[in-house]
Amino acid sequence: MSAVAARGVDPSLSLYRLLDPEVLANPYPLFHRLRSEDPVHWDPFLHAWVVTRYADVVTVLYKFSADRTPSPEQLAAMGLEALTPIARVMVKQMLFLDAPAHTRLRGLASYAFTPRRVAILREHIQEITTRLLDEAAARGRLDVIADLGAPLPAIVTAEMLGVPTEDHEQLKNWSADFAEVLGNFQHNPDRAARMLRATEGMAEYFRERIREQKRQPREGLINALLTAEIDGDRLTEEEVVANCIITMVGGQETTTNLIGNGVLTLLRHPAELARLRADLSLIPSAVEELLRFEPPSQHTARMAPDDVELGGRRIKKRQAVIAVMAAGNRDPERFPEPDRLDLGRADNRHLSFGWGAHFCFGAPLARIEGQVALAALVKRFERIELEPGPLVWRQNLGLRGLEALPVTLGGAP
């Protein structure tokens, strides 16, 4: 028996169990146990609190500190100094900053997301989806991940940034590697070199695009970030680079999984899929329900700002807290029959885009991508069938998604 088990801690409640492929394939029973047996749980294996009730997740996201990147000294103390270049980029990204630094960055970045810009992207999303589905229709089969879920957000992200869309495959590969840092709490030394290469590759790529755009501006986030000014304040070049990286990664890994997890969930609930086919006006609420039911981003982390009490437990200042949005989304105190998929669910303020100051910056774009992709698939193919074979979930514990989702298609006009 381990020392921890000997002290009366129940290892079966640890989030490290997500490393078990069976738990990863269906983490919801574990989240249910955590929420009902120990909703503010000290996980001695992760050395972090794990919070699973809806109301507590909201409190953590609203009030706790997002400033959680380890300093070079802390990394060295853990023997992880090789990761310092990644941490240097992360400390400049909005996701890891508190006010006022966060407010400044987010305010300047929001210049890129004017409704006009999002409207232009909507048209392109429609065109790209049609083209990708034309190719699938000709083949009669589709890998929902490789043929639609991955390329659609990758191309849209390139357009959003204002870089050549031909670069989308490279952007996708870097982003998948960087997502290993964002989505996981376990350190995998074998992957570290790849993450470092990706971070350095992306930083160099964006520095080069910035040099080009200083000579010849292009519409997009890079240019918006370079030129945004509030009261004479501008972003430095390294801040532009760091926030292009987070937006690029945040925009791709999650949206791929919204499409993949969304299609899988519909195929697993044929009555709800039939309901959607019969009434396509349900598409917006269907996307919200799919986001609630199978969140692409399952949990995130914060630090306690002070000694605080939450759910009757005392959390010490600067202790790490993992807020499990995927568990809060299934809290019966908030959602009636939370384990039932209801594409017409009203009052669906799920946690899948976060809450408060860090609420997803790209949510309007992600929603359009999800709505357009699902509507196009359902309208175009009367029959969508899962091909036989095991489903393999990606080894990313936070960014939940499948390696592949092959389906056969029928009934294309």
Tokens of 360: 């997803």
Binding mask 296-335 for ligand HEM (x = CB under 6 A): xx--x-----------------------------------
Instruction: Find the angle CA(49)-CA(52)-CA(56) to the nearest 5 degrees.
Output: 85
Choices 80-88, 230-238, 249-257, 262-270; region in contact with ligand HEM by CB under 6 A: 249-257
Interatomic CA distance for residues 240 and 223, integer angstroms: 9
Rg (CA), the chain: 21
Closest residue by beta carbon to ligand HEM: 362
DSSP state of 146: I
Does the protein bind ligand HEM through residue 377 (CB under 6 A)?
no
Name which position in 39, 151, 220, 251 contacts ligand HEM (CB under 6 A).
251
Interatomic CA distance for residues 266 and 271, integer angstroms: 9
Choices 125-133, 247-255, 274-282, 330-338; region in contact with ligand HEM by CB under 6 A: 247-255
Tokens of 377: 């698939």
Name which position in 185, 293, 361, 381 contacts ligand HEM (CB under 6 A).
361
Nearer to ligand HEM, 31 or 361 (CB): 361
Binding mask 14-33 for ligand HEM (x = CB under 6 A): --------------------
Nearer to ligand HEM, 53 or 350 (CB): 350
Interatomic CA distance for residues 194 and 177, integer angstroms: 7
Sign of CA dihedral 381, 382, 384, 385: negative
Pick out residues in 88-117 that bind ligand HEM (CB under 6 A).
94-95, 106
CA terminus-to-terminus distance, the chain: 62
Pick out residues in 178-237 that bind ligand HEM (CB under 6 A).
none
Number of H helices, E strands in the chain: 17, 9
Binding mask 45-64 for ligand HEM (x = CB under 6 A): ----------------x---
CB 262 within 8 A of CB 244: no
Nearer to ligand HEM, 162 or 251 (CB): 251
Collapsed DSSP state (helix, strand, coil) of residue 301: strand
Contacts of 47 by beta carbon, 8 Å cutoff, 6+ apart: 320
Does the protein bind ligand HEM through residue 354 (CB under 6 A)?
yes
Does the protein bind ligand HEM through residue 265 (CB under 6 A)?
no
Does the protein bind ligand HEM through residue 261 (CB under 6 A)?
no
Nearer to ligand HEM, 69 or 254 (CB): 254
* Polymer length in residues for the chain: 413
Does the protein bind ligand HEM through residue 250 (CB under 6 A)?
yes
CB 241 within 8 A of CB 206: yes
Min dist. Cβ of residue 117 to ligand HEM (A): 11
Does the protein bind ligand HEM through residue 258 (CB under 6 A)?
yes
Collapsed DSSP state (helix, strand, coil) of residue 317: coil
Min dist. Cβ of residue 199 to ligand HEM (A): 16
Q: Is 146 exposed, middle or buried (0-12, 13-18, 19+ CB in 10 A)?
A: middle
Choices 79-87, 265-273, 352-360, 377-385; region in contact with ligand HEM by CB under 6 A: 352-360
Nearer to ligand HEM, 39 or 362 (CB): 362
Does the protein bind ligand HEM through residue 254 (CB under 6 A)?
yes
DSSP line for 233-274: B---HHHHHHHHHHHHHHHHHHHHHHHHHHHHHHHH-HHHHH
Does the protein bind ligand HEM through residue 368 (CB under 6 A)?
no
Nearer to ligand HEM, 405 or 409 (CB): 405
Does the protein bind ligand HEM through residue 366 (CB under 6 A)?
yes
H-helix segments, 94-188: 101-109, 115-139, 151-161, 168-183
Residues engaged in binding ligand HEM (CB under 6 A) = 61, 94-95, 106, 160, 246-247, 250-251, 254-255, 258, 296-297, 300, 352-354, 358, 360-362, 365-366
